[in-house]
Chain A
Amino acid sequence: MGLSQNENEVLRVQELSFTFPNASGPTIDRLSLSLNSSDIFFLIGPSGAGKTTLLKLLGGIYSYKAGEIYIQGAPLGRLSQSNKKLVLKRVAMTFQRSGLFDSLTVLENLLFPLRELTLLTAKERLQLAEQILRQVNLTGAESKYPFEISGGMQKRLGIARALVLQPELILYDDPTAGLDPITSHHIVDLILTAQNKKKTGTLIATSDLDLAFSVSKKTSAKIGFLCQGKLIQVGTEKEIFESRNPIIHQFTRGLLQGPLTPSELS
């Protein structure tokens, strides 16, 4: 591919652009980024900056025409449909609103991807699902439906479903949104334990700055600031928190006065 590649690199994004049909400008604008298998990367930025869109592009939910996404060296945009599907098996995503199947039980939600995407036997699928349920502390809730469990449990199930295929890259979309501070701690512990156990490349879009900064400080994870589809700064928590960029300064301090006004964020 003519791409100098280090073998630990799980994700490389090169000059990626994406525009929604009928939109006046691009939602993702010539964005580049790379992630190693042992990396955690936080994506922060204003509402509407393109965080969820970027995750959906990386997860293969949206297709793009400009730029390229490499998953372990494989260029998603240039692969045949069948090869793309194979490569995307290594990428898992959790959704802002968990994205669970309402009509399936907790256990069935986990068995579904295993049945669709692996060649495991029924017995192996069940064993693996039960092991993951133990890992996220949902044992005992197997036969419940998503609406019968709390928001924190739904988030844990969403994470379990992402972990069950043992991906190389996990994309978390605002994993603690709507959770109380104590439950948020449990979710973050779960994400970090999963990351540490298998050295999974981990990309976390979050609206909780306290979370991003404190985890980054502890683990040296990089933070990227996304604004109008561009990564305007990537750095350590200290570099971002002390950034001289007026947009980043306004954002991290939660100031109403500054270059960004709420109406511009729409």
Chain B
Amino acid sequence: MININKLCKSFDNRKILENISFSVVKGECVFILGKSGVGKSVLLKNIVGLVLPDSGTITVGEIKVDAQRPEELSLIRQRCGLVFQFPALLDSVTVFENICFGLRARGLLTSQVEIAARVKEKLKLVGLSEVVLDQMPTELSFGTQKRVSIARTLAVEPEYLLFDEPTTGMDPIATAGLNQLIKNLTVKLGVTSIVVSHDIKSALAVGTRIILLEDGGIVFDGKPGEFKSSSITLAQEFQMGFGYHA
């Protein structure tokens, strides 16, 4: 379980997150929605200790996120796989080396055969062919790079997956593929996911719960069905999009 209790965070005297409290239990797939700049990414970064709260506490399982305890923080980061909004791949090494980087760095697997098998398994999960393994990240399109970064996160088999805008810049088929992947991971493997997103269609299709942030606080926390019929203006604006109807 991830537990966030009375989390507050400001930057330059600007309050970003104010008194945020919620818990995510095993097997949930929570979508966190909100306008750009509302603090969604900051919230994710707090969970893995990349940003530290001004006040309030966060625990992942039994471990408290605490910068003073680097070994525990390292364990939290191993348990929580974070997928960044932009792929953040290492440009100077191949796709293969990118995917197995965490495995090697953490010494989780040492046998070359096992490492290669794990890399190929995760690559298949994100819907990429093995052709890309020897390529450099810069030779790939943005959407493909993004999927490589997801494979890299999956490689260390984290208990929790934290996605920052996973479908940004991805085409509709890749988006459908990723949604199905998140759903499979949640349903079949019991992975717990927190997904920061603007993509309302994905949230409604995949999420088991939606949290909507506005002005630093939680203005909605409930099931996708409840979100659809919510009277909150922002919830309605999110569902409107550009409103194309054929």
Q: List A residues at the B interface (Cβ < 8 Å).
A: 20, 23, 45-49, 52, 96-97, 150-152, 174, 177-185, 188, 207-211, 213-215, 217, 237-238, 241-242, 250-256, 258, 260-266
Contacts and interface: CB of A to CB of B under 8 A. Distances in A.
Question: Which secondary structure dominates where chain B touches chain A?
Answer: loop
A47 B143 contact: yes
18 contacts: A23-B139, A46-B171, A47-B143, A52-B141, A150-B36, A151-B36, A178-B36, A180-B36, A181-B240, A209-B172, A242-B246, A251-B173, A254-B172, A254-B173, A254-B176, A261-B127, A263-B128, A265-B127
A252 B244 CA distance: 12
A174 to B, nearest CB: 6
Interface of B: 34-37, 85-86, 126-129, 131-132, 139-144, 147, 165, 168-177, 180, 198, 200, 237-238, 240-244, 246
A122 to B, nearest CB: 31
B85 A178 contact: yes
A262 B173 contact: yes
A226 to B, nearest CB: 11
Contact of B175 (A96, A217, A254): A254
A253 B246 CA distance: 12
Contacts of A45: 171
Nearest to A150: B37
A255 B173 contact: yes
Given A180-B36, A213-B242, 18 more contacts: A96-B169, A150-B36, A174-B169, A178-B85, A178-B168, A181-B200, A181-B238, A181-B240, A209-B172, A210-B244, A215-B242, A217-B244, A256-B173, A258-B173, A262-B126, A262-B127, A263-B127, A266-B144
B141 A48 contact: yes
A111 B246 CA distance: 43
Nearest to B124: A263
Given A178-B168, A262-B177, A48 B143 contact: yes
